[in-house]
A and B are shown apart, each in its own frame.
Chain A
């Protein structure tokens, strides 16, 4: 007779939680969004500020990584120029699926105030974008809100569907 038998019906229930794989996977994904540092210009400074002491990004599970292989979120913070466009595509291709892109600041959204020969008029001409942040420069709070929104978006997706590459056009 087992003395240590637990009465599951009385003592706090079964040590098991029932859920779907989708939920578990998305729970993991949405709470550990590792971002690739992609500070291109002024917005990059605000991105750094949101990672630093006052705004403290780590509490959302978002840690900035320097390697595209370790990241699943690309925060394009700043002006993308024609000379750089090729590299952003390269790094985007190097990131592992599933991956998301936040375009931070009006330069990344539309070219912003730089309506010139040297500026790509919006990163969405080169890589697919999930969230656009307005502002020049957006405050760190805005970036944090964007990441929270992205978490909601991830939770809504089904885990396997996220694997499908997004189309640019």
Chain B
């Protein structure tokens, strides 16, 4: 019987799993430990639902409802002085809970603090754009759409950004294989030469360890192993570095290795 591979997550898995191993956690501390974060959290809590909040590796993480994302970030920007949206993207949790997690990484230069706002949306749901608040979200949201297929509402130019416009599939989803689906693997051939050329050009070689047993250049000597130190030249002379033809070239001065100077002192 063929081994079962889950279809909802086709990423590489370790070949070995330790059943008794319990993964440790990165320490989470309470928000009250940091006065600045505590005040910020109070301000957010006063107006919006906060599902969870904690400090991890020196940064506050606030989990909110997806519907609030625009207003929370507006408040963060205008009231709480978080003046840069340094990063935003999504995480694919479709396999386990059927949701995307979206995170906004914000930076306050006056407080020297970083906060991560997170929310979750379902696969078919969409989220409000924050492009009106931070122009940087313009491209991040496009990238998120390109990579995950998360649709963003009220975005001025919702188009693919990294992949070509006619691309199929969303590469960073866990269901998308690293080496691409059939569409991806034939993309350039189909586009340039047409589908007819597939047979002539042939499939891609995706196996980085492929060895051709009958390799003409004897790169791989599989099946022809010899003891270490054996002469494998089979009587062929060495091919030395050859800058010019041996018998000289028409109208070109012959390169003379004797006369050339090697500059060993580079400070000259």
A residues sitting closer than 8 Å to B (CB atoms) are 19, 23, 27, 31, 82-83, 85-86, 89, 110-111, 115-118, 120-122, 125-126, 145, 148-149, 152, 155, 168-169
Closest 8 CB pairs of A and B: A117-B180, A85-B188, A121-B204, A117-B184, A82-B187, A83-B164, A23-B250, A169-B200
Complex alpha-carbon distance, A161 and B10, angstroms: 50
A85 neighbours in B (Cβ, 8 Å): 187-188, 191-192
Complex alpha-carbon distance, A82 and B252, angstroms: 42
Contact size class for B?
20 to 34
**B contact face: mostly helix, strand, loop, or mixed:** loop
B262 neighbours in A (Cβ, 8 Å): none
Neighbour of A155 across the interface among B162, B188, B245, CB < 8 A: B245
Given A110-B205, A126-B188, output 8 extra A-B contacts at Cβ < 8 Å. A117-B178, A117-B179, A118-B163, A120-B188, A122-B204, A125-B189, A148-B244, A152-B245
Neighbour of A82 across the interface among B179, B181, B184, B243, CB < 8 A: B184
The B171-204 residues at the A interface (CB cut-off 8 A) are 171, 176-181, 184-185, 187-189, 191-192, 200-201, 204
Is A148 touching B250 in the complex (CB atoms < 8 A)? no
Tell me if B79 is interfacial: C-beta within 8 Å of chain A: no
Tell me if B227 is interfacial: C-beta within 8 Å of chain A: no
A-B contact pairs, 20 of them (CB 8 A): A27-B250, A31-B252, A82-B164, A82-B184, A83-B162, A83-B163, A86-B188, A86-B192, A117-B171, A117-B177, A117-B178, A117-B181, A117-B185, A118-B163, A118-B171, A145-B241, A152-B244, A152-B245, A155-B245, A169-B200
Complex alpha-carbon distance, A33 and B208, angstroms: 33
